[in-house]
Amino acid sequence: MKNKRVIYYTDELNDEFSGAKITPRVIDGNYKYIHKNPLWNICSYLVQNVLSMPIKILYSKIKFRIKYIGKEKLKEYKDSGYFVYVNHTQIFADTFIPSIPIYPKRNYFIVNPENVSMKGSETLIEMLGALPVPSNKDAMKNFLEAIEKKVNANFSITIYPEAHIWPYYTKIRPFKAVSFKYPVKLQKPVFCMTNTYKSYGKNKDKVKIETYIDGPFLANKELTLKEQQQDLRDRVYNCMVERSKNSDIEVIEYIKK
């Protein structure tokens, strides 16, 4: 691609290229993961699954001409909660790309504290489904309780195992098995969505997204809990690596220093 950007990186696990400079708030035991106020929950549903959906769909169609491949795999689990693992390659669109094929099921996101640290927008972000990672042990109990409650209510939980945003990255970065403890502990199925970048247009210099949906991946109960986590991680990772090979355009070139 002509005039493509080049980004130099040193650490695939920890480098962040979102460009955002936000001081994260401390997510402690006082953070409300579960709201008992009926009005708050009604407003959250309206914001998350009614008012924002047209914006999500129009943006993804107009900006990326997005196409989902394999979304029929989710239909069998429309009445069940599950976890979804996605590669992290868009600053804004990643907040809703998984929610579109999952709709009308409510979809929640495990996010970094920075996402709920911007004054004036933190409540909106929470209503859209953000579940920030706890900053200390006091909040961890509430965090795990919220995940269990939502997935047992037949909602989905989206996780970005790469943790950091690399815009338009066309490969899959190595990620740890730690986030797979949730589906193993709660005995829930796992799906993965792999965003790939495809060229189109007369000169093949325009970019669209094709998102591959794969699963379900189920934990192998013949293994120990730790082994189940690693096994799930490996199967999801290998699937995403294979799907990522369908990208045929590179908007940003990433070079290791």
pLDDT > 90? residue 156: yes
Q: Are 181 and 190 in contact (CB under 8 A)?
A: no
pLDDT > 90? residue 85: yes
Q: What's the start-to-end Cα distance of the chain, in Å? A: 22
The mean pLDDT value of the chain amounts to 94
pLDDT at 93: 93
Average of per-residue pLDDT across 109-136: 90
Rounded Cα gap, residues 204 and 214, in angstroms: 27
Write the pLDDT tens digit of every residue in 158-188. 999 999 999 999 999 999 999 999 999 999 9
Rounded Cα gap, residues 34 and 36, in angstroms: 6
Rounded Cα gap, residues 136 and 138, in angstroms: 6
Q: Is 80 left (phi over 0), alpha (psi -120 to 50) or beta?
A: beta
Report the DSSP pairing between strands 156-159 and 107-111: parallel
Rounded Cα gap, residues 158 and 179, in angstroms: 11
Which of 84, 112, 119 lies closest to 194 in space, CA to CA? 84
Q: Are 10 and 173 in contact (CB under 8 A)?
A: no
H-assigned helices in 133-180:
137-152
